[in-house]
Amino acid sequence: MRVIKQTSEMARTAGALRRAHQTIGLVPTMGALHDGHLSLIRAAAKQTRVVVVSLFVNPLQFGPGEDYDGYPRDLKQDLNLAKAAGTDIVFAPHVSQIYPADFSTSVQVDGLSDILEGQARPGHFRGVATVVMKLFQIVQPMVAYVGQKDYQQALIIQRMVKDLGIPTAIRLLPTVREPDGLAMSSRNRYLNPEERRQATVITRALREAADGIRAGEHNPKTVADALRHLMTREPLVRIDYVALVNARTLAPLPRLTGRVAILTAAWVGTTRLIDNILVDV
């Protein structure tokens, strides 16, 4: 496995691979790798010839007062995990490689970026779209692998790729969970044992909501109320939002039909977690 830190070297390498007709698969991450990331790397290793994993904590997608400085960073462990999962190249640039001092361009996907996570975290998805666009330019992947865990982010990347005619296919893979259901996240390591225990209510509530819908409850307000009620039974859990929306457009649904996305964000102590589940009605 090769580790590349310079943007110019990564771009040169990707160019040579493409000229040699080697398919490149990219797994963009912020590091602190866990099984969720590794499932994406393994899928890439099955489907593409050269797997590139980017490790980059993107300052542009963190708001003021968010956890950019404290975000977990562990390059040595990430390199070991990435290698074992089948990575060929790790691209781990310094911030100045991606954002030189005179950097002044951004990518904004209107609409989808302004609701839910975007409303809670202004500027977040502009940061995400900008860095993903830049990574796609540098790495030139034929396929990029993203997780359902960040469902809205995946839709925004798909939108961007379609709107701008980027020749990269986006593969969306299922959320990998801990045995008790909690969605794996680099931020889970912020939780103390009691918070970690209470955090499992998020998945339980989503699953109960999905079961309720499958059992015939098609009123979104009824389902959302039950979900909120269950989540607030844990005293350290504070709901940011609960939404039942069209899974393709994220538009609110007056009645639950078609493919429904149930999305939630909640604080558990001082840690903000997101999760979602899809239901076909």
Rounded CA-CA distance 238/241 in Å is 9
Nearer residue to ligand AMP within complex by CB, 113 or 185: 185
Q: How far is the CB of 219 from ligand AMP (least distance, A)?
A: 30
**Interface pattern 54-93 for ligand AMP (x via CB under 6 A):** ----------------------------------------
Structure tokens at 155: 């839709």
Rounded CA-CA distance 86/167 in Å is 24
Among 90, 166, 176, 202, indicate the residue that binds ligand AMP (CB under 6 A): 176
Under rule CB under 6 A, residue 149 binds ligand AMP: yes
Is 266 one of the binding residues for ligand AMP (CB under 6 A)? no
3-state secondary structure (DSSP) of residue 154: helix
Distance CA 70, CA 270 (A): 13
Instruction: Kindly tell me which of 133 and 146 has the beta carbon lying closer to ligand AMP.
Output: 146
- Quick check: 124 binds ligand AMP (CB under 6 A)? no
> CB within 8 A of 57, min separation 6: which ones?
30, 31, 68, 71, 73
Contact criterion met (CB below 8 Å) for 245 and 277: no
Binds ligand AMP by CB under 6 A, chosen from 10, 14, 25, 36: 36
| Residue (141 or 147) nearer to ligand AMP, CB | 147
246: which 2 tokens?
Answer: 């069209």
Contact status: 201 vs ligand AMP (CB under 6 A): no
Q: Please report how close the Cβ of residue 222 comes to ligand AMP at its closest, in angstroms.
A: 29
H helix intervals, the chain: 7-19, 35-47, 75-84, 95-98, 117-120, 124-139, 151-164, 193-214, 220-231
- Annotated catalytic residues are 37
Q: Which residues bind ligand AMP (CB under 6 A)?
A: 29-30, 36-37, 39-40, 146-147, 149-150, 173, 175-176, 183-186
